[in-house]
Copies of this chain bind each other. A is one copy, B any other.
Amino acid sequence: MSELTHVDETGAARMVDVSGKDVSARSATATGRVLLSPAVVKLLRSGETPKGDALGVARIAGIMGAKRTPDLIPLCHPIALHGVKVTLDVEDWGVAITCRVKTADRTGVEMEALTAVSVAALALVDMVKAVDPAAVITDVRVEEKLGGKTGRWTRDEPA
């Protein structure tokens, strides 16, 4: 079984040396869900003004969260980000969040995509928590990863 790459032979954490990796175009898509009460879903779906801003704030939080990834995740490399897109869709059960991140660097950007989804979800929960203190963030996961040595990985056909 492969070893954890972020710990050395003595088990100590380290930021993995990626000097030997190629700079190449890479992207990653992550998704997540925020389960909300019917009352909040109705509120987000109504044409009333709150809707736009609640989702808009979460979207901005997600994009900014992607940029904070190396500040938050101890062993993540600080890398350039070429594009970040966060989408929030209101569903019957709550809000579906998707984030796609692109770069051309030596490491993948799946942590940036996962962080963006998580921070967008947290920001959304913050906006609705007075109405729905029981909101749940769930199914935060990588869907697809392109580029680098491993090429393409998708959840359905993991390779």
A residues whose Cβ falls under 8 Å from a Cβ of B: 1-8, 10-19, 25, 32, 39, 42-43, 48-54, 56-57, 59-61, 63-68, 70-87, 102, 104-106, 110-111, 114-115, 118-119, 121-123, 125-131, 133-142, 145, 153, 155, 158
- In contact, A43 and B130 (Cβ under 8 angstroms): no
Give the CA-CA distance A25 to B18 in the complex, in Å.
Answer: 12
Q: Which residues of B contact A15 (CB under 8 A)?
A: 63, 66, 81, 83-85
Q: How far is the CB of A12 from chain B (nearest CB, A)?
A: 6
Distance in angstroms between the alpha carbons of A122 and B116 in the assembled complex: 11
Per DSSP, are chain A's interface residues mostly helix, strand or loop, or mixed?
mixed
B67→A68 contact, CB < 8 A: no
Q: State the CA gap A133–B28 with chains docked (Å).
A: 12
Q: Which of B8, B12, B19 makes the CB contact (< 8 A) with A82? A: B19
Partner of A133, one of B13, B127, B145: B145
With A and B bound together, what is the CA distance between A123 and B6 in angstroms?
11
Enumerate chain B residues within 8 angstroms of A76, measured Cβ to Cβ: 126
A68→B72 contact, CB < 8 A: yes
Given contacts A115-B122, A126-B73, contact A133 B106 (CB under 8 A): no
Further contacts, 12 of them, CB under 8 A, given A13-B60, A15-B84: A8-B85, A11-B53, A12-B59, A52-B52, A56-B56, A61-B74, A72-B119, A77-B80, A77-B81, A115-B122, A133-B153, A136-B141
